Amino acid sequence: MMMIVKINTNNFEELVLKSEKPVLVDFFATWCGPCKMMHPVLEEFSQEHTNFVIGQVDVDASPDLARKFQIMSVPTFIVFKAGKPTAQAVGVLPKPQLMALMQQ
């Protein structure tokens, strides 16, 4: 059973850039209502799709990562494959849209 991994500046390279699986990174904030709505969706998605890694970056705790990827609003989702960003979306996404994002 997969779970959502907590990603920060210290483990970003190891968990995201060096991952052998595609990684869906959710840039979120604890004060963000839509981000809270996405959490159960991501939990379900991570359990249904163990061939992906699902991770979250708290933009307030890791502002350097938010800057690096030019996160202007939360939640923002970025898919990384072989260490490179391949797709991005902003806002509350249902599971089919998350799946479509992963397949881009």
User: Mind listing the pLDDT tens digit of every residue in the chain (104 residues)?
Assistant: 568 999 999 999 999 999 999 999 999 999 999 999 999 999 999 999 989 999 999 999 999 999 999 999 999 999 999 999 999 999 999 999 999 999 99
Cα dist from 67 to 2, 8, 57, 59, whole Å: 28, 13, 12, 9
CA 45-38-3 angle, to 5 degrees, is 40
Give me the active site residues, please.
32, 35
CATH topology of domain 5-103: Glutaredoxin (3.40.30)
Instruction: Please list the alpha-helical segments (H only) found in 1-104.
Output: 12, 33-48, 63-68, 95-103
**Predicted local distance difference test score (pLDDT) of residue 3:** 85
Domain ranges of the chain: 5-103
Claim: this prediction has a pTM higher than 0.85: yes
Are 28 and 75 in contact by the 8 Å Cβ rule? The answer is yes
